Amino acid sequence: MTAPQSTRSLSIVVPAYNEEKNLPEFFRRVVPVLESVTPDFEIIFAIDPCSDGTEEMLRKQAELSPRVKVIKFSRRFGQAMAILAGCQYARGDAVIVMDADLQDPPELIPEMWAEFQAGFDVVMLQRRERHGETWVRRLLAGAGYAVINWIAEVEIPRNVGEFRLMSRRVVCELNRLKECHGFLRGLIAFIGFKQKIITFDRPARHAGTTNYSAFIPNIRNGLHGLVCFSGSLLKLSTTLGICCAFGAFLLAFAYAVIQILQRPFPLGNPTIVILCLFMGGIQLICLGIIGEYISRIYEEVRERPKFIVDYALGLQEHPKL
């Protein structure tokens, strides 16, 4: 689908870390697509310090084209902060977030742009297929979305990653939010406005191995969705406590009846050990849930900056953070 050229401006935000092998193909495919939808566009790369030639390659591209901008962090802050930094620097009427590994096909940009022109504030890309990913990862992703949507206060569409278009007013509202966790999917769902979903088959990476999708960071990201957008886990702790107390009451009542009837008393070390382990496990689970909420509170009250910029090429004005 080809959208007619528009005078409205477009910013592309690309979080990147060690993407040297993907950048030539990225530029080869994305620039013609952007030129076909609007003459006024910019590509903002937000990068952590890289161990390959990514930084040098992007600096050269920024020297060759004023449309290429680079934000480099003082240390590794991760994908979420890279996206938020790019959104704070972006000046387009619309902002598209996409990866440099070409798993987010640039050829879908005209369709996203057409939906934006039609009045949608958020255009999300939903994956029908996830090529290049193991069945374990797909299973965990599906289970994670199911749990989050079961307890979250806002609906987060399934199989929707960070690849999306946002209008200027959505980006402004996103920049106003103070949460430091950077769970973009939840933040955009919280902001609302008119949203559209486009389905696509996500291809495998063009080259190299993924840098931002390690197992532990994904678990942490899932916890952000569970903890930062719902208080249901705290209510679950209360429910578990009530259930355990009620179970203990029933057990005590059963033992009292057995004593009154002078029946053999089925009590021994195995029973005591099982009950102690069960209650200990419940208490540790509840303490862990409370700890997750407290850790988020601790992160928020420190009010540390979400990221620290080493330099910004092609971006004259530093945003108000």
Residue 321: predicted pLDDT: 45
Sequence-ordered list of residues with C-beta below 8 angstroms from that of 98, at least 6 positions apart, any chain: 12, 13, 14, 104, 106, 162, 163
Summarised one tens digit per residue, pLDDT across range 86-125 is 888 888 889 999 888 888 888 888 988 988 888 888 888 8
Residue 140: predicted pLDDT: 61
Best mean pLDDT range from 161-165, 180-184, 247-251: 161-165
Residue 215: predicted pLDDT: 47
What average pLDDT does the structure give for the chain? 76
Is 214 within 8 Å of 141 (Cβ atoms)? no
Residue that the structure tokens 């161990």 belong to: 51
Pairwise CA distance, residues 86 & 70, whole Å: 9
Residue 205: predicted pLDDT: 61
DSSP-assigned letters across all residues of 67-110? TEEEEEESS---HHHHHHHHHHH--SSEEEE--TTSSS-GGGHH
For residue 98, give both structure tokens: 């996409």
Cβ neighbours, 10 Å, residue 141? 18
Residue that the structure tokens 């992160």 belong to: 299
Cα within 13 Å of Cα(318), Cβ side? 7
Pairwise CA distance, residues 289 & 283, whole Å: 10
Q: Give the confidence band of 135 by pLDDT, cuts at 50, 70, 90.
A: low
H/E stretch holding 187 reads: helix 184-191
CA quadruple 255, 260, 263, 267: dihedral positive or negative? positive
For residue 129, give both structure tokens: 């297929």
Residue that the structure tokens 């009292």 belong to: 256
Q: How many helices (H) and strands (E) does the chain have?
A: 10, 8
Residue whose C-alpha is closest to residue 91's, from 12, 165, 34, 11? 11
Starting at the edge strand that comes first in sequence, how are the strands of the sheet with 160-167 ordered? Answer: 195-202, 122-130, 160-167, 94-97, 10-16, 41-47, 68-73, 309-313
Residue type, 271: T
Is 199 within 8 Å of 108 (Cβ atoms)? no
Q: Based on the number of CB atoms within 10 Å of its own CB, is 264 exposed (0-12), middle (13-18) or buried (19 or more)?
A: exposed
Q: Give the confidence band of 297 by pLDDT, cuts at 50, 70, 90.
A: confident
SS3 136: helix
Residue whose C-alpha is closest to residue 99's, from 25, 166, 15, 160? 15
Residue 142: predicted pLDDT: 61
Residue whose C-alpha is closest to residue 195's, from 227, 230, 156? 156
Summarised one tens digit per residue, pLDDT across range 179-201 is 766 677 778 877 888 888 888 77
Residue 21: predicted pLDDT: 84
